[in-house]
Structure 1
């Protein structure tokens, strides 16, 4: 009877013993994990992003890529309407043609005026000699006063013609300068329009995947406005936001194990390759302002970048299944 009673009492304690063992195992597991790892789920997959934006104002005529498309570096991905720019280009080409014709005419007139002045200067020199000789002859009563006045008048007329020609030469020179400036202006405007025409075509600056398309065909795009956002999916990493109190245990090259929520059965490994130079909140949309008088101390987090070890199997997984922004559970191995 006593033996049966002891067996019954032992059976009563079996569930309690099992619970104690489970609790002890759990505590031991978490203690072991705490000693070996710094664990956090404040992490996600990240990559380089490039925003493709327009340099000019224009209407979108063609979009050659959609979200999710893989693109190569240098691929044409968007085009703006160029009809207005082409019309302006032809207008300035015609303006340049007229300006060149005016310049040739002004140059010819300027050269003619220079040669004419040379002839008039010779004539002035000759008539001045005649006038000087006539003056002496008149004073010596060799010629009459009428002859003297005629020679004097001829000299004064030649001098006046030379002065008028010099004025016309200055006018011709200003016309040459104006015509040349008109040609330069037309050429500069053509150059500006050619550059703008070149900017109507947008090319991918790197190989990657279109993560976001912001506009549609027919939309008006402003200078600097993004049409696409491209990510470099060939080089992914994990960003961990770690409490500042644990930062002293982190260093470049430290090993990290992590799982991605979308691939829970696959454990990845990597190494710390960047430790942020400031906390994540410093450049947030609303940065902390402790001068307001309502200070509440909050543990800040520092961004840490971790590489994804790239063996052949991982490359296939990265290419097909890992996306930027996916949640990550990371375990930083303590040294």
Structure 2
């Protein structure tokens, strides 16, 4: 029996068996290899990749930047031929000037109408004074004419003067009413003219915006991707011209749901970057995804049909890269990393805009 265990072949088989068992125990994190450190290779660097597109159509007149160039906020990236839009702006400005002139003429017409009212009022006052004089004359002549003291011609003349003065008063009152209606018409048309000026001003603003949109500027500091715009190319609204990648990056690690127990926001994280010769960076957990990754897919799995096989779901964990690390500046969105989280480490305070909301990771805080 001892000879069998002394055989080199038997010893090798036993060593291989023990090594296999140890490997299985380590892979499943079973004693004595149980560890509080959770690791995943399903992790990538993320960042804000902004696709820049024009808001209008035209020919590309200038592309003063190059692939992968570093740019500053407000720097010109692409310029579209602006001759048509400059003329539209000039046309809108001319229309605005015409509408303003019409509005100013309305105010002048208001002054003229008020002066006409004053003149009509003066005519009415004069007609009323003449009417009083003619009435007084008629009142004197009429009793004398009835007694035969005054001649008939004098009576007819006095009566005609009275009736003429009465008609003049009516005419002056009508003229005053016409002047007042002219003022009301002017004031009533004022609202339409003011609306026309407002509309023309809005058209100028829109034309100005279109003219400014012919210059595509960098919205913030960052680096450019490949430039898709070419000189002389005709582009339309929404065309992808180039991409801007700011320097802000973070890591999204997709842990299995069975690894989340005990993870908390603020715990330290070790990040191994494949592209940097597997150099290690440090970070901290910021927050957890509100749902498993399968819930965000376009076509979600329907587990209510067919045979069911339980598959551990993965939940995204956002990790902030600690500042002050020189290698952190070399991180770029899309790079693969390996993330390790020690669930036994104390959590630190991490600013989180989603504070107050319960996430999947919060369920493990009591562990």
Mark the CA change 1:19 to 1:43 in structure 2 (over 3 Å): closer, same or farther.
Answer: farther
Distance 1:18 1:202, change over 3 A: same
- Cα deviation, residue 329, structure 1: 3.1
Deviation at 1:276?
1.8
Q: Does 1:162 align with 2:176?
A: yes
Aligned-residue Cα RMSD (Å) equals: 3.3
Residue of structure 1 aligned with 2:11, choices 2, 12, 17:
17
Deviation (angstroms), 1:93: 1.9
For the 8 Å contact 1:110–1:176, the answer to whether it is kept is no
Structure 2, unmatched stretches of 5+, are 143-154, 345-367
In structure 2, relative to structure 1, the CA distance for the partners of 1:238 and 1:175 (3 Å cut) is closer
Report the secondary structure of 1:262's partner residue. Answer: helix
Say yes or no: does 1:300 pair with 2:299: no
Query: Structure 2 CA distance, aligned partners of 1:294 and 1:216?
Result: 52
Superposed, 1:1-335 pairs within 5 Å as: 13-14=7-8, 17-18=11-12, 20-21=14-15, 24=18, 28=22, 31=25, 34=29, 35-36=34-35, 37-54=37-54, 56-59=55-58, 61=60, 62-141=62-141, 143=155, 144=157, 145-211=159-225, 213=227, 216=230, 218-222=233-237, 227-233=241-247, 235-290=248-303, 293-294=305-306, 296=308, 297-309=310-322, 312-315=325-328, 318-319=329-330, 322-335=331-344
Q: Deviations over 1:117-153 (max 9, x none)?
A: 1121121122123213423432442653332233233
SS in 2 for 1:193: helix
Give, in whole Å, the separation in 2 of the partners of 1:295 and 1:252.
37
How many Å separate the matches in 2 of 1:169 and 1:18?
115
TM-score by length of 2: 0.73
Q: 1:313 and 1:103 mapped to 2: Cα distance?
A: 65
Equivalent residue for 1:3?
none
Deviations 1:178-218 (A, max 9, x none): 44443333222212222332333333232222246565553
Question: Higher mean Cα deviation, 38-47 or 143-152?
Answer: 143-152
CA contact (8 A) 2:255 2:316 kept: yes
Structure-1-length-normalised TM-score: 0.79
User: Whose strand proportion is higher, 1 or 2?
Assistant: 1
**2:314, 2:122 → 1: CA distance?**
93
Aligned length: 319
For residues 183 and 86 of structure 1, the distance between their equivalents in structure 2, rounded to whole angstroms, comes to: 20
